[in-house]
A and B are shown apart, each in its own frame.
Chain A
Amino acid sequence: MPGISTASLPDIVFMLLFFFMVTTVMRETELKIKKPQLPKATEIKKLERKSLVSYIYVGKVEGQNGDKIQLNDRLADIKDVKYFIFAERETHSEDEIPLLTTSIKADIKSNVGTITDIKEELRNINALKINYSTLKGDIADNIK
Protein backbone atom coordinates (compact mmCIF):
# COMPACT_ATOMS: atom_id res chain seq x y z
CA MET A 1 0.00 0.00 0.00
CA PRO A 2 1.50 3.32 -1.01
CA GLY A 3 1.83 5.89 1.79
CA ILE A 4 0.00 9.16 1.49
CA SER A 5 2.28 11.79 0.06
CA THR A 6 3.19 14.40 2.64
CA ALA A 7 5.00 16.61 0.20
CA SER A 8 2.35 19.32 0.34
CA LEU A 9 2.23 19.34 4.12
CA PRO A 10 4.78 22.16 4.46
CA ASP A 11 2.73 24.26 2.05
CA ILE A 12 -0.39 23.80 4.10
CA VAL A 13 1.38 24.54 7.33
CA PHE A 14 3.02 27.62 5.85
CA MET A 15 -0.34 28.89 4.72
CA LEU A 16 -1.68 28.58 8.26
CA LEU A 17 1.50 30.14 9.56
CA PHE A 18 1.12 33.21 7.38
CA PHE A 19 -2.48 33.55 8.42
CA PHE A 20 -1.57 33.65 12.08
CA MET A 21 1.44 35.87 11.50
CA VAL A 22 -0.74 38.43 9.77
CA THR A 23 -3.57 38.35 12.31
CA THR A 24 -1.38 38.37 15.40
CA VAL A 25 -1.40 41.59 17.34
CA MET A 26 1.37 41.69 19.85
CA ARG A 27 0.06 43.24 23.00
CA GLU A 28 1.46 46.74 22.90
CA THR A 29 0.47 47.91 26.35
CA GLU A 30 1.67 46.22 29.44
CA LEU A 31 -0.74 46.45 32.30
CA LYS A 32 0.55 48.23 35.37
CA ILE A 33 -2.69 47.78 37.22
CA LYS A 34 -4.13 44.43 38.17
CA LYS A 35 -5.84 42.94 35.14
CA PRO A 36 -9.32 44.46 35.26
CA GLN A 37 -12.16 42.05 35.61
CA LEU A 38 -14.55 43.47 33.02
CA PRO A 39 -18.26 43.49 33.76
CA LYS A 40 -20.58 41.33 31.73
CA ALA A 41 -23.48 42.50 29.62
CA THR A 42 -25.84 41.26 26.98
CA GLU A 43 -26.61 44.39 24.97
CA ILE A 44 -23.15 44.74 23.55
CA LYS A 45 -21.77 46.10 20.33
CA LYS A 46 -18.55 45.18 18.63
CA LEU A 47 -15.98 47.93 18.33
CA GLU A 48 -15.17 48.36 14.68
CA ARG A 49 -11.97 49.91 13.39
CA LYS A 50 -9.59 49.38 16.25
CA SER A 51 -7.21 52.05 14.99
CA LEU A 52 -9.78 54.63 16.01
CA VAL A 53 -10.07 53.38 19.58
CA SER A 54 -8.02 54.59 22.51
CA TYR A 55 -8.08 52.68 25.75
CA ILE A 56 -8.28 53.85 29.32
CA TYR A 57 -7.75 51.21 31.97
CA VAL A 58 -9.13 51.57 35.46
CA GLY A 59 -8.32 49.20 38.27
CA LYS A 60 -6.45 48.56 41.46
CA VAL A 61 -2.73 48.43 42.07
CA GLU A 62 -1.34 45.82 44.41
CA GLY A 63 -0.94 47.23 47.90
CA GLN A 64 -2.54 50.58 47.17
CA ASN A 65 -5.96 51.94 47.91
CA GLY A 66 -8.32 53.52 45.43
CA ASP A 67 -8.78 53.23 41.70
CA LYS A 68 -5.84 53.88 39.44
CA ILE A 69 -5.96 54.99 35.83
CA GLN A 70 -3.60 53.67 33.22
CA LEU A 71 -3.01 55.42 29.91
CA ASN A 72 -0.71 53.73 27.43
CA ASP A 73 1.86 51.96 29.55
CA ARG A 74 2.04 54.09 32.64
CA LEU A 75 -0.15 54.99 35.55
CA ALA A 76 -1.59 58.43 35.22
CA ASP A 77 -3.55 61.07 36.98
CA ILE A 78 -7.06 62.09 36.01
CA LYS A 79 -5.66 65.37 34.64
CA ASP A 80 -3.52 63.49 32.14
CA VAL A 81 -6.55 62.08 30.35
CA LYS A 82 -6.94 65.13 28.15
CA TYR A 83 -3.28 65.12 27.07
CA PHE A 84 -3.64 61.45 26.28
CA ILE A 85 -6.60 62.15 24.02
CA PHE A 86 -4.81 65.09 22.41
CA ALA A 87 -1.87 62.83 21.69
CA GLU A 88 -4.22 60.26 20.15
CA ARG A 89 -5.75 62.95 17.98
CA GLU A 90 -2.33 63.98 16.73
CA THR A 91 -1.89 60.58 15.13
CA HIS A 92 -5.12 60.79 13.15
CA SER A 93 -6.21 62.96 10.29
CA GLU A 94 -8.62 65.82 10.78
CA ASP A 95 -11.69 64.04 9.44
CA GLU A 96 -11.18 60.98 11.62
CA ILE A 97 -11.23 62.92 14.88
CA PRO A 98 -15.02 62.88 15.37
CA LEU A 99 -14.94 59.10 14.93
CA LEU A 100 -12.40 58.50 17.67
CA THR A 101 -13.81 56.36 20.44
CA THR A 102 -12.56 56.01 23.96
CA SER A 103 -12.95 52.58 25.42
CA ILE A 104 -13.06 52.42 29.19
CA LYS A 105 -11.80 49.12 30.50
CA ALA A 106 -12.67 49.25 34.15
CA ASP A 107 -12.75 46.62 36.84
CA ILE A 108 -16.19 45.76 38.17
CA LYS A 109 -15.12 46.78 41.66
CA SER A 110 -14.15 50.31 40.60
CA ASN A 111 -16.15 53.24 41.86
CA VAL A 112 -18.50 55.02 39.53
CA GLY A 113 -16.94 58.27 40.77
CA THR A 114 -13.68 57.49 38.99
CA ILE A 115 -15.53 56.72 35.78
CA THR A 116 -17.50 59.94 36.09
CA ASP A 117 -14.30 61.93 36.50
CA ILE A 118 -13.00 60.41 33.29
CA LYS A 119 -16.26 61.12 31.50
CA GLU A 120 -16.16 64.72 32.70
CA GLU A 121 -12.62 65.14 31.38
CA LEU A 122 -13.67 63.67 28.06
CA ARG A 123 -16.63 66.00 27.86
CA ASN A 124 -14.41 68.98 28.53
CA ILE A 125 -12.35 68.25 25.45
CA ASN A 126 -15.29 67.11 23.37
CA ALA A 127 -14.31 63.46 23.04
CA LEU A 128 -17.87 62.28 23.25
CA LYS A 129 -17.86 58.77 21.87
CA ILE A 130 -17.22 56.29 24.63
CA ASN A 131 -17.60 52.60 25.09
CA TYR A 132 -17.86 50.78 28.39
CA SER A 133 -15.87 47.68 27.67
CA THR A 134 -17.72 44.54 28.71
CA LEU A 135 -17.68 40.86 28.04
CA LYS A 136 -20.65 38.92 26.81
CA GLY A 137 -22.33 37.17 29.67
CA ASP A 138 -24.96 37.17 32.34
CA ILE A 139 -25.27 40.40 34.31
CA ALA A 140 -25.95 38.41 37.48
CA ASP A 141 -22.19 37.75 37.59
CA ASN A 142 -21.52 41.45 38.09
CA ILE A 143 -23.07 41.56 41.52
CA LYS A 144 -21.26 39.37 43.95
Chain B
Amino acid sequence: MNFTVNLNEFQEAVNKTLPAIPPKSTLPVLEHLKFELNDNLLEIISTDQEITIKTQLNVENSTPGKILVPGRKLNDILKALGKTEKITFNSNTENFEIDLITDFGAYKMKGLNNDEYIELPELFESNVDISDSSVVDNALLPKDDVIRLADKTAFAVSSDDFRPAMTGVLFQFRGQFINAVSTDSYRLVKSTYNSEEINLPNELDIIIPSRTMDILKKADDEVHFSFIKNNDKVTHIKFKVGSTIYISRIIDEKFPPYESVIPQSNNIFLKVNKNQLQSAIKRVAIFANDITKQIRVKIEPTQMTLTAQDIDSGTKADEKISCSLEGEPVEIGFNYKFLDEAISHINTSSDGEIVFSLSESNKPALLMPEKDSKELLMLIMPVRLNN
Protein backbone atom coordinates (compact mmCIF):
# COMPACT_ATOMS: atom_id res chain seq x y z
CA MET B 1 0.00 0.00 0.00
CA ASN B 2 1.41 3.35 -1.04
CA PHE B 3 0.14 6.90 -1.17
CA THR B 4 1.13 10.52 -1.03
CA VAL B 5 -0.91 13.00 0.98
CA ASN B 6 -1.04 16.58 2.15
CA LEU B 7 0.53 16.59 5.60
CA ASN B 8 -2.05 18.85 7.26
CA GLU B 9 -4.98 16.81 6.03
CA PHE B 10 -3.30 13.59 7.06
CA GLN B 11 -2.48 14.90 10.49
CA GLU B 12 -6.03 16.15 11.00
CA ALA B 13 -7.52 12.81 10.01
CA VAL B 14 -5.19 10.82 12.28
CA ASN B 15 -5.87 13.22 15.11
CA LYS B 16 -9.61 12.64 14.78
CA THR B 17 -9.21 8.92 15.28
CA LEU B 18 -6.97 9.29 18.31
CA PRO B 19 -9.65 9.48 21.04
CA ALA B 20 -10.36 5.80 20.44
CA ILE B 21 -6.72 4.77 20.79
CA PRO B 22 -6.35 3.62 24.38
CA PRO B 23 -3.13 4.83 26.04
CA LYS B 24 -2.41 1.32 27.16
CA SER B 25 -4.46 -1.54 25.90
CA THR B 26 -4.69 -5.14 26.91
CA LEU B 27 -5.02 -5.81 23.21
CA PRO B 28 -1.92 -4.38 21.49
CA VAL B 29 -3.71 -4.50 18.17
CA LEU B 30 -6.02 -1.73 19.44
CA GLU B 31 -3.09 0.64 19.75
CA HIS B 32 -3.09 0.60 15.96
CA LEU B 33 -5.00 2.49 13.33
CA LYS B 34 -6.54 0.39 10.62
CA PHE B 35 -5.66 1.80 7.19
CA GLU B 36 -7.61 0.72 4.15
CA LEU B 37 -6.90 2.28 0.76
CA ASN B 38 -8.98 2.05 -2.42
CA ASP B 39 -9.17 4.38 -5.40
CA ASN B 40 -7.24 7.21 -3.76
CA LEU B 41 -9.62 7.14 -0.76
CA LEU B 42 -7.95 6.29 2.54
CA GLU B 43 -10.15 5.05 5.35
CA ILE B 44 -8.76 5.17 8.91
CA ILE B 45 -10.41 3.25 11.74
CA SER B 46 -9.67 3.18 15.46
CA THR B 47 -11.48 1.51 18.33
CA ASP B 48 -11.14 0.89 22.03
CA GLN B 49 -14.23 -1.30 21.87
CA GLU B 50 -16.29 1.40 23.53
CA ILE B 51 -15.85 4.09 20.92
CA THR B 52 -15.13 3.36 17.27
CA ILE B 53 -14.07 6.11 14.91
CA LYS B 54 -13.89 6.00 11.14
CA THR B 55 -12.66 8.84 9.00
CA GLN B 56 -11.75 9.25 5.33
CA LEU B 57 -9.48 11.42 3.26
CA ASN B 58 -8.33 11.75 -0.32
CA VAL B 59 -4.78 10.79 -1.22
CA GLU B 60 -2.72 10.71 -4.40
CA ASN B 61 -0.60 8.24 -6.36
CA SER B 62 -2.01 5.30 -4.48
CA THR B 63 -1.77 1.58 -4.77
CA PRO B 64 -4.54 -0.12 -2.74
CA GLY B 65 -3.97 -2.20 0.37
CA LYS B 66 -4.63 -2.65 4.09
CA ILE B 67 -2.37 -2.38 7.11
CA LEU B 68 -2.39 -1.64 10.85
CA VAL B 69 -0.30 1.39 11.84
CA PRO B 70 0.91 2.24 15.40
CA GLY B 71 -1.45 5.11 16.21
CA ARG B 72 0.39 7.24 18.75
CA LYS B 73 3.73 6.93 17.03
CA LEU B 74 2.25 8.02 13.73
CA ASN B 75 0.48 10.95 15.38
CA ASP B 76 3.67 12.00 17.18
CA ILE B 77 5.74 12.15 14.02
CA LEU B 78 3.01 13.90 12.02
CA LYS B 79 2.67 16.53 14.73
CA ALA B 80 6.43 17.05 14.81
CA LEU B 81 6.76 17.44 11.05
CA GLY B 82 6.29 21.16 10.82
CA LYS B 83 7.46 22.36 7.45
CA THR B 84 6.90 19.78 4.82
CA GLU B 85 3.80 19.92 2.64
CA LYS B 86 3.51 16.38 1.42
CA ILE B 87 4.33 13.03 2.86
CA THR B 88 4.59 9.66 1.20
CA PHE B 89 3.50 6.48 2.96
CA ASN B 90 4.81 3.11 1.77
CA SER B 91 4.09 -0.18 3.44
CA ASN B 92 5.43 -3.62 2.75
CA THR B 93 2.78 -6.30 2.45
CA GLU B 94 5.26 -9.04 3.38
CA ASN B 95 6.87 -7.82 6.58
CA PHE B 96 4.47 -4.91 7.38
CA GLU B 97 7.22 -2.33 7.59
CA ILE B 98 6.06 1.22 7.08
CA ASP B 99 8.18 3.99 5.57
CA LEU B 100 7.22 7.63 5.85
CA ILE B 101 9.15 9.84 3.48
CA THR B 102 9.29 13.63 3.42
CA ASP B 103 11.52 16.05 1.52
CA PHE B 104 14.14 15.88 4.23
CA GLY B 105 13.59 12.71 6.21
CA ALA B 106 12.67 9.06 6.25
CA TYR B 107 11.01 7.29 9.16
CA LYS B 108 10.49 3.61 9.53
CA MET B 109 8.13 1.77 11.83
CA LYS B 110 6.60 -1.64 12.18
CA GLY B 111 2.94 -2.22 11.44
CA LEU B 112 0.76 -5.29 11.82
CA ASN B 113 -1.14 -7.54 9.45
CA ASN B 114 -4.62 -6.15 8.83
CA ASP B 115 -6.10 -9.61 9.43
CA GLU B 116 -5.19 -9.37 13.10
CA TYR B 117 -7.67 -6.54 13.70
CA ILE B 118 -10.77 -7.26 15.74
CA GLU B 119 -14.23 -7.66 14.26
CA LEU B 120 -16.39 -4.58 14.40
CA PRO B 121 -19.96 -5.73 13.87
CA GLU B 122 -21.48 -2.40 14.84
CA LEU B 123 -19.42 -0.70 12.16
CA PHE B 124 -20.65 -3.09 9.55
CA GLU B 125 -24.19 -2.41 10.68
CA SER B 126 -23.62 1.27 10.21
CA ASN B 127 -23.22 0.89 6.50
CA VAL B 128 -26.95 1.53 6.30
CA ASP B 129 -27.35 4.86 4.56
CA ILE B 130 -27.89 7.32 7.36
CA SER B 131 -28.45 10.26 5.05
CA ASP B 132 -31.85 8.83 4.23
CA SER B 133 -34.13 11.31 5.98
CA SER B 134 -37.14 9.02 5.81
CA VAL B 135 -35.59 7.02 8.65
CA VAL B 136 -37.18 8.37 11.81
CA ASP B 137 -34.43 7.49 14.21
CA ASN B 138 -31.94 10.06 13.12
CA ALA B 139 -31.51 13.80 13.15
CA LEU B 140 -29.20 16.50 12.03
CA LEU B 141 -28.26 18.87 14.83
CA PRO B 142 -26.49 22.20 14.47
CA LYS B 143 -22.92 22.14 15.70
CA ASP B 144 -23.39 24.91 18.27
CA ASP B 145 -26.33 23.21 19.92
CA VAL B 146 -24.50 19.91 20.23
CA ILE B 147 -21.50 21.63 21.74
CA ARG B 148 -23.77 23.47 24.15
CA LEU B 149 -25.51 20.28 25.32
CA ALA B 150 -22.18 18.53 25.80
CA ASP B 151 -20.40 21.42 27.44
CA LYS B 152 -23.17 22.20 29.94
CA THR B 153 -23.48 18.63 31.14
CA ALA B 154 -20.11 16.91 30.88
CA PHE B 155 -18.56 18.68 33.89
CA ALA B 156 -21.12 17.30 36.35
CA VAL B 157 -20.68 13.65 35.38
CA SER B 158 -19.70 11.33 38.22
CA SER B 159 -16.32 9.63 38.21
CA ASP B 160 -17.57 6.89 40.51
CA ASP B 161 -17.26 3.67 38.54
CA PHE B 162 -19.42 2.03 41.15
CA ARG B 163 -22.38 3.95 39.84
CA PRO B 164 -21.92 3.45 36.11
CA ALA B 165 -25.20 5.10 35.14
CA MET B 166 -23.89 8.38 36.48
CA THR B 167 -20.57 8.23 34.62
CA GLY B 168 -22.39 9.32 31.47
CA VAL B 169 -24.88 11.90 30.30
CA LEU B 170 -28.50 10.87 29.96
CA PHE B 171 -29.98 11.87 26.62
CA GLN B 172 -33.74 11.84 26.55
CA PHE B 173 -35.01 11.99 22.99
CA ARG B 174 -38.57 13.26 22.92
CA GLY B 175 -39.47 13.90 19.31
CA GLN B 176 -38.98 17.63 19.04
CA PHE B 177 -36.54 18.04 21.88
CA ILE B 178 -33.62 16.50 23.74
CA ASN B 179 -32.90 16.67 27.46
CA ALA B 180 -29.29 16.11 28.37
CA VAL B 181 -28.87 15.35 32.08
CA SER B 182 -25.85 14.63 34.23
CA THR B 183 -25.33 14.26 37.96
CA ASP B 184 -22.69 13.18 40.44
CA SER B 185 -25.24 13.31 43.26
CA TYR B 186 -23.82 16.62 44.55
CA ARG B 187 -25.16 18.55 41.61
CA LEU B 188 -27.34 17.93 38.63
CA VAL B 189 -27.55 19.64 35.26
CA LYS B 190 -30.33 19.51 32.76
CA SER B 191 -29.85 21.14 29.41
CA THR B 192 -32.54 21.10 26.76
CA TYR B 193 -32.46 21.45 23.01
CA ASN B 194 -35.70 22.18 21.28
CA SER B 195 -36.41 22.49 17.58
CA GLU B 196 -39.33 22.04 15.26
CA GLU B 197 -36.98 20.93 12.56
CA ILE B 198 -35.81 17.72 14.13
CA ASN B 199 -37.51 14.39 14.10
CA LEU B 200 -36.20 12.19 16.84
CA PRO B 201 -37.44 9.06 18.56
CA ASN B 202 -40.31 9.88 20.86
CA GLU B 203 -39.39 7.99 23.97
CA LEU B 204 -35.76 7.02 23.90
CA ASP B 205 -33.45 7.33 26.91
CA ILE B 206 -29.81 6.48 26.51
CA ILE B 207 -26.73 7.19 28.58
CA ILE B 208 -23.71 8.41 26.62
CA PRO B 209 -20.30 7.84 28.24
CA SER B 210 -18.50 11.00 29.31
CA ARG B 211 -15.58 10.26 26.96
CA THR B 212 -17.99 10.35 24.05
CA MET B 213 -19.31 13.65 25.35
CA ASP B 214 -15.78 15.01 25.24
CA ILE B 215 -15.70 14.19 21.53
CA LEU B 216 -19.04 15.90 20.97
CA LYS B 217 -17.74 18.97 22.77
CA LYS B 218 -15.20 19.35 19.99
CA ALA B 219 -17.62 18.89 17.08
CA ASP B 220 -16.47 21.01 14.15
CA ASP B 221 -19.47 20.52 11.90
CA GLU B 222 -23.17 19.74 12.16
CA VAL B 223 -23.82 16.40 13.84
CA HIS B 224 -25.95 13.66 12.34
CA PHE B 225 -27.25 11.36 15.08
CA SER B 226 -28.57 7.87 14.59
CA PHE B 227 -28.86 4.69 16.63
CA ILE B 228 -27.71 1.14 16.24
CA LYS B 229 -30.05 -1.48 17.52
CA ASN B 230 -29.54 -5.07 18.41
CA ASN B 231 -32.70 -7.11 18.95
CA ASP B 232 -34.72 -3.90 18.95
CA LYS B 233 -32.65 -2.48 21.78
CA VAL B 234 -30.40 0.51 21.20
CA THR B 235 -26.83 -0.55 21.93
CA HIS B 236 -24.83 2.21 20.25
CA ILE B 237 -25.23 5.80 19.28
CA LYS B 238 -23.72 6.85 16.02
CA PHE B 239 -22.91 10.32 14.89
CA LYS B 240 -21.41 11.65 11.75
CA VAL B 241 -19.48 14.89 11.86
CA GLY B 242 -18.16 15.93 8.44
CA SER B 243 -16.44 12.92 6.96
CA THR B 244 -15.92 11.21 10.33
CA ILE B 245 -18.24 8.64 11.84
CA TYR B 246 -18.25 7.97 15.58
CA ILE B 247 -19.92 4.95 17.08
CA SER B 248 -20.15 4.83 20.84
CA ARG B 249 -21.43 2.11 23.06
CA ILE B 250 -24.09 3.44 25.39
CA ILE B 251 -24.10 2.75 29.12
CA ASP B 252 -26.70 0.06 29.61
CA GLU B 253 -27.85 1.08 33.07
CA LYS B 254 -30.79 2.83 34.59
CA PHE B 255 -30.25 6.52 35.19
CA PRO B 256 -31.45 7.68 38.63
CA PRO B 257 -34.97 9.14 38.60
CA TYR B 258 -33.65 12.67 38.43
CA GLU B 259 -36.97 14.46 37.96
CA SER B 260 -38.06 13.63 41.48
CA VAL B 261 -35.15 15.49 43.06
CA ILE B 262 -35.68 18.75 41.20
CA PRO B 263 -37.64 20.95 43.58
CA GLN B 264 -40.87 22.28 42.12
CA SER B 265 -41.95 24.67 44.82
CA ASN B 266 -38.92 26.75 45.66
CA ASN B 267 -40.26 30.07 46.85
CA ILE B 268 -37.12 32.14 47.33
CA PHE B 269 -35.74 33.80 44.21
CA LEU B 270 -32.53 35.70 44.08
CA LYS B 271 -31.15 37.74 41.20
CA VAL B 272 -27.50 38.61 41.18
CA ASN B 273 -24.91 39.85 38.74
CA LYS B 274 -22.95 36.84 37.51
CA ASN B 275 -19.54 38.50 37.14
CA GLN B 276 -19.72 40.21 40.51
CA LEU B 277 -20.71 36.98 42.21
CA GLN B 278 -18.06 34.93 40.48
CA SER B 279 -15.22 37.25 41.33
CA ALA B 280 -16.42 37.52 44.93
CA ILE B 281 -16.43 33.73 45.18
CA LYS B 282 -12.95 33.59 43.71
CA ARG B 283 -11.57 35.90 46.39
CA VAL B 284 -13.48 34.51 49.37
CA ALA B 285 -12.66 30.91 48.40
CA ILE B 286 -8.96 31.56 49.03
CA PHE B 287 -9.82 31.68 52.73
CA ALA B 288 -12.04 28.65 52.89
CA ASN B 289 -11.08 25.34 54.44
CA ASP B 290 -9.27 23.20 51.87
CA ILE B 291 -11.19 20.07 52.68
CA THR B 292 -14.75 21.27 53.13
CA LYS B 293 -14.42 24.10 50.59
CA GLN B 294 -17.35 25.59 52.41
CA ILE B 295 -18.56 29.12 51.90
CA ARG B 296 -21.52 30.53 53.72
CA VAL B 297 -23.98 32.66 51.80
CA LYS B 298 -26.28 34.94 53.74
CA ILE B 299 -29.03 36.32 51.58
CA GLU B 300 -30.91 39.44 52.62
CA PRO B 301 -33.39 41.61 50.69
CA THR B 302 -30.81 43.81 48.96
CA GLN B 303 -27.47 42.22 49.61
CA MET B 304 -25.79 38.85 49.97
CA THR B 305 -22.79 38.18 52.17
CA LEU B 306 -20.27 35.48 51.29
CA THR B 307 -18.19 34.23 54.18
CA ALA B 308 -15.39 31.69 54.29
CA GLN B 309 -13.50 30.68 57.37
CA ASP B 310 -10.82 28.16 58.13
CA ILE B 311 -10.49 27.71 61.85
CA ASP B 312 -7.40 25.53 61.47
CA SER B 313 -5.34 28.22 59.77
CA GLY B 314 -7.15 31.19 61.32
CA THR B 315 -8.15 32.73 58.01
CA LYS B 316 -11.44 34.40 57.29
CA ALA B 317 -13.02 36.47 54.55
CA ASP B 318 -16.33 38.08 53.92
CA GLU B 319 -17.66 40.11 51.09
CA LYS B 320 -20.97 41.77 50.34
CA ILE B 321 -22.58 42.17 46.95
CA SER B 322 -25.92 43.59 46.03
CA CYS B 323 -28.76 41.41 44.89
CA SER B 324 -32.52 41.43 44.70
CA LEU B 325 -34.51 38.96 46.72
CA GLU B 326 -38.02 37.72 46.35
CA GLY B 327 -39.08 35.72 49.42
CA GLU B 328 -37.65 35.16 52.89
CA PRO B 329 -33.99 35.84 53.77
CA VAL B 330 -32.00 32.64 54.07
CA GLU B 331 -28.52 31.42 54.95
CA ILE B 332 -27.04 28.53 53.00
CA GLY B 333 -23.65 26.83 52.63
CA PHE B 334 -22.00 25.61 49.45
CA ASN B 335 -18.88 23.92 48.29
CA TYR B 336 -17.43 26.89 46.41
CA LYS B 337 -16.06 24.67 43.66
CA PHE B 338 -19.51 23.35 42.81
CA LEU B 339 -20.97 26.83 42.99
CA ASP B 340 -18.31 28.35 40.78
CA GLU B 341 -18.50 25.56 38.21
CA ALA B 342 -22.25 25.84 37.97
CA ILE B 343 -22.19 29.61 37.63
CA SER B 344 -19.53 29.57 34.94
CA HIS B 345 -21.68 27.24 32.84
CA ILE B 346 -24.58 29.65 32.82
CA ASN B 347 -24.78 32.12 29.98
CA THR B 348 -26.38 35.16 31.50
CA SER B 349 -29.44 36.96 30.33
CA SER B 350 -28.91 40.34 28.67
CA ASP B 351 -28.31 42.30 31.88
CA GLY B 352 -25.68 39.92 33.12
CA GLU B 353 -27.80 38.48 35.92
CA ILE B 354 -28.44 34.91 36.97
CA VAL B 355 -31.23 33.55 39.12
CA PHE B 356 -31.04 31.32 42.20
CA SER B 357 -34.13 29.59 43.45
CA LEU B 358 -34.13 28.13 46.97
CA SER B 359 -36.38 26.89 49.73
CA GLU B 360 -34.41 25.99 52.85
CA SER B 361 -30.76 25.89 53.76
CA ASN B 362 -30.58 22.09 53.62
CA LYS B 363 -32.55 21.73 50.38
CA PRO B 364 -31.31 21.83 46.81
CA ALA B 365 -30.63 25.19 45.21
CA LEU B 366 -31.39 25.81 41.55
CA LEU B 367 -29.42 28.11 39.28
CA MET B 368 -30.76 29.36 35.99
CA PRO B 369 -30.04 32.04 33.42
CA GLU B 370 -33.51 33.41 34.18
CA LYS B 371 -36.60 32.45 36.11
CA ASP B 372 -38.43 29.46 34.57
CA SER B 373 -35.61 28.86 32.11
CA LYS B 374 -36.50 26.06 29.74
CA GLU B 375 -33.02 25.76 28.35
CA LEU B 376 -30.82 25.15 31.34
CA LEU B 377 -31.23 24.16 34.95
CA MET B 378 -28.46 23.53 37.45
CA LEU B 379 -29.07 22.02 40.83
CA ILE B 380 -26.54 22.12 43.67
CA MET B 381 -26.82 20.36 46.98
CA PRO B 382 -25.76 22.65 49.82
CA VAL B 383 -23.32 21.96 52.62
CA ARG B 384 -25.00 21.60 55.99
CA LEU B 385 -24.08 24.59 58.12
CA ASN B 386 -23.39 24.40 61.84
CA ASN B 387 -24.74 27.31 63.74
Partners in one complex: no
Residues on A lying within 8 angstroms of B by beta carbon are none
